[in-house]
Structure 1
Amino acid sequence: MAAELRPWLAPSAAGPVTATVRLPGSKSMTARALILAALADGPSTIEAPLRARDTTLMSAGLRALGVAVDASADDRWVVEPGPLRGPARVDVGLAGTIMRFLPPVAALAEGTVEFDGDPHARNRPMGPILDTLRSLGVRVDASPTGGLPLTVHGGGLVEGGEAVVDASGSSQFVSGLLLSAARFAKGLTLRHEGPPVPSAPHLRMTTHMLRAAGAVVDESTPDVWVVEPGPLSGRTWVIEPDLSGALPFFAAAMVTGGEVTLAGWPERSWQPVEQLTGLLTAFGAEVTRSERGLTVRGTGTLRGITADLSEVSEMTPVLAALAVLADGPSELRGVEHIRGHETDRIAALAAELTKAGAGITEFRDGLRIEPGPLHGASFETYADHRMAHAAAVIGLSVPGVQLTDVGCTSKTLPEFPELWAGLATTS
């Protein structure tokens, strides 16, 4: 069921925001840990997981397949693998991780597994991963558009071997196949053919976590990933705070000339912290790491930037919000694939930032943003949590930014409205 519609007036900050925030775990890491735990040869625990719509639906999908997921405790989930079986029905919501990660798992099940989700989920690209599964001998029935709703006819075994995928539309096409590949009889040698794969840090997260679960993975050849067949080990996964989820809070420090620290940041991370540090520094922020966590300090200057965001495309909406508030134009490119995210994020940003008074040039793969005299406006959120985050950032400086629905933030951070309101009042 979709999140409840909740119109919301974004709070404005009266002065510099200064805060230490503790955020739930990474959505990307939680999703991968759930899949690897489900396919392991023993129980696993997931510490500090993200409890949000995407991960709740992922847990429900795994339970439908016969995996015991005990998520009764907020800070520690326990996953007990079981024989994968159908018939089952999986609600993907609007989550790319579920619609791309679970069909390969379903192929390993005995029986049919049906997938469907929110109305817009039917528009999200699925063809490449389904075609690759078919090339590996898996029977998949999809809609006439090649995506949801779809049915995977699991035979209890996937032979595996060699396969080709065009993952230019989403790195999740590669991650989804790799996460299950060790359980394929012959493993998997997967070759990408097409334009560059976006969001490379997410692929590195996938291969790092596979190795941590005991898989043998070779990614030494560009655009080729080899996963050897073999068992995956049950283990304890400690989930890092979500870097993409922290970005709006860092942006609050930059917009208001304040300081925000993300507590609990690990010394070594599987998320793209170096790329984000470079971008925020280019905008004019100071970024430091210490035992307190990851700290972003606004300097009173917010500069326009020119950047290729292909590796951190999930962050485009909030970075676009910063660009709107900068002292000069910005050009954000390399993200054509985000047209297939929760909504067409490029078109959505162009429409909503224009309504707020910015000058926008829309490219196939991004935006040119000319800051202008900004004013309050009704900001359509398109059932997209990142669009809501962008509107909230603008609202700190621009009174009267009214979100059509803040409820969509439950996708990854249900407590976002309360956290954000508390942040604004710390200024």
Structure 2
Amino acid sequence: MGNLTATRPPQPWSAPTATDPVATTLRLPGSKSLTARALVLSALAGGPSTVLRPLRARDTELMAAGLRGMGAHASITDDERWLVRPHPLVGPAHVDVGLAGTVMRFLPPVAGLTDGRVTFDGDPAVRARPLGPLVEALRSLGVRIDVTGPGSLPLTVLGAGRVSGGEVVIDASASSQLVSGLLLAAPRFDRGVVVRHVGPPVPSAPHLRMTVRMLRAAGAAVDDGMPDVWTVEPGPLAGRVWEIEPDLSGAVPFFAAALVTGGEVTLQGWPHSSAQPVERLRALLHEMGGEVSLTTGGLSVRGTGVVHGVTADLSDVSELTPVLTALAMLADSPSVFTGVAHIRGHETDRLAALAREFAGLGADVTESHDGLAIRPRPLRGGTFRTYHDHRMAHAAAVVGLAVPGVELDDVGCTSKTMPEFPALWSQMVTGKS
């Protein structure tokens, strides 16, 4: 198993500067979002499942460990093929969520089905991540939960072996995962679930569509025809083979490198029908000066060496905000990003961290309540703090392509979703890993 603890020493890293256009073909690890959902659905299925080409990283290993602790059999020794066999869910168990929003929000509903006591905690920073609406929703569905900390974590789910289910109202404006967590376990609830969102728009809508699509693929009956209402009928889930496509969010820094350097990057193994928001990414990269094409060889992005500023609402692709901010720093015109207030509750307050760290490199960046405004000007090298956040490290690496002397205080945080990132990045830029 990989690194399941945050008590590793920092790994300082000098972001390599590109002297030539990058030209590379990559095969990146699988999608974190797809891998996480496949593991949960497999553990709740009526028969064995296989997860092909999953993401092996801290978040997904913590997900597998949490399910294993509650009784599921999950064999993840083979990097290309993970095997999951459902078993009766039992406690006591402890789930280490690390910094993973997926583990923190997907597994408490599963723990409600466990016959026994399941405790949850993680890295100190995760205790500030939004979880309260899910706790209250589960309580209204009949799950006993004790919150023992000042925030939502640590908590204890006192599983009774079943969840009655029914209708629930939730404000999921802080994270779409609050809804996905309820939906994934709902087929096993006695009455299924009807989730009604009341509040500002749910961010990252493509991830909710991914949840619904995967539930249906496992045999669940799901109705999402009414805005902000999701109905999942009770019923069995089928074991199956899950083929995990490459991680789009993980690919974005590499695609950004093509724009910054005027090079070309091709991601192999990209499906023609994707569960991820590839069309939205294609439009954004095109507007910023890239050419995006999908062929049998993969998904390719080519740059001209000139990056254009954009004005964009990123609410549906908020994970891309750090790398797009880095691109905007190197653009030929200003950019304004909005719709991402909720990323203040991610691994760190990403808006504040991006504004602070890029200002430290000389950037003209203004933070608003739900976004950033960037007016490009020459940047200088300096230390860039990552705050244990993999997306912050990706942003720093992109700017470092054009700005010599960008020093990350810790590139090891990329192990959360892509342990291979520093080696892949250096290989792409310098030809040396």
TM-score (norm 2): 0.98
Secondary structure in structure 1 of the residue aligned to 2:89: coil
In the other structure, the counterpart of 1:159 is 164
Q: Percent identity?
A: 66
1:19-30 alignment, distance < 5 Å: 19-30=24-35
* 8 Å CA contact 2:44, 2:86 repeated in 1: yes
Q: 1:372 aligns with which of 377, 381, 398?
A: 377
1:348 aligns with 2:353: yes
Matches within 5 A, 1:156-305: 156-305=161-310
Q: Kindly provide the amino acid, as one letter, of the partner of residue 172 in structure 2.
A: A
Structure 2 distance, partners of 1:253, 1:426, is: 15
Residue number in structure 2 paired with 1:408: 413
Deviations 1:216-271 (A, max 9, x none): 00000000000000000000000000000000000011000000000000010000
> Is the contact made by 2:149 and 2:155 (CA closer than 8 Å) also made in structure 1?
no
Cross-structure match for 1:68? 73
**Cα distance per residue 1:373-403 (max 9 Å; x no partner):** 1000100000000000000000011000000
Residues 107-127 of structure 1: CA deviation (Å, up to 9, x unaligned): 000011000000101111100
RMSD: 0.9
Equivalent pair of 1:168/1:196 in contact (CA under 8 Å): yes
Q: Which amino acid is 2:179 matched to?
A: V
Distance 1:201 1:45 in 2: 24
2:363 pairs, out of 358, 362, 365, with 358
Q: Which moved more, 1:413-422 or 1:135-144?
A: 135-144
Secondary structure, aligned partner of 1:229? coil
- Match for residue 94 of structure 2? 89
Task: Map 1:4-153; keep pairs closer than 5 Å.
Answer: 4-153=9-158
Q: 1:387 aligns with which of 392, 398, 403?
A: 392
**Contact map agreement 1:18 1:426 (CA 8 A) in 2:** no
Unaligned runs of 5+ in 2: none
- SS in structure 2 opposite 1:162? strand
Structure 1, residues 83-113: CA drift from partner, whole Å, max 9, x if none?
Answer: 0010000100000000000000000000110
Distance 1:197 1:57 in 2: 26
Q: Is the 1:17–1:426 contact (alpha carbons within 8 Å) kept by the matching residues of 2? A: no
Number of residues of Structure 1 aligned to a counterpart in Structure 2 = 427
- How far apart are 1:272 and its partner, in Å? 0.2
> What amino acid is the match of 1:406?
V
Aligned partner of 1:320: which letter? Answer: T
TM-score, normalising length from structure 1? 0.99
* Distance in 2, Cα, partners of 1:248 & 1:23: 12
Conserved? CA contact 1:219–1:226, under 8 Å? yes
Amino acid corresponding to residue 204 of structure 2 in structure 1: S
Question: d(CA) in 2 for partners of 1:36 and 1:328?
Answer: 45
Where 2:119 maps in the other structure, the secondary structure is strand
Counterparts of 2:250 and 2:182, CA distance in 1: 25
Q: Tell me if structure 1 keeps the 8 A contact 2:127–2:151.
A: no
SS at match of 1:190: strand
Alignment partners' CA distance in 2, 1:145 and 1:320: 33
Counterpart Cα distance in 1 of 2:199 and 2:155? 25
Counterpart residue identity of residue 325, structure 1: L
SS of structure 2 residue aligned to 1:397: coil
Q: State the AA in 2 paired with 1:310.
A: S
After TM superposition, the runs of 4+ consecutive aligned structure 1 residues lying more than 4 A away are none
- The answer (yes or no) to whether the contact 1:19–1:426 under 8 Å persists in 2 is no
Number of the residue aligned with 1:397: 402
What amino acid does structure 2 have at the position aligned with 1:114? T
Output the amino acid matched with 2:292: V
Q: Distance in 2 between matches of 1:285 and 1:251?
A: 9
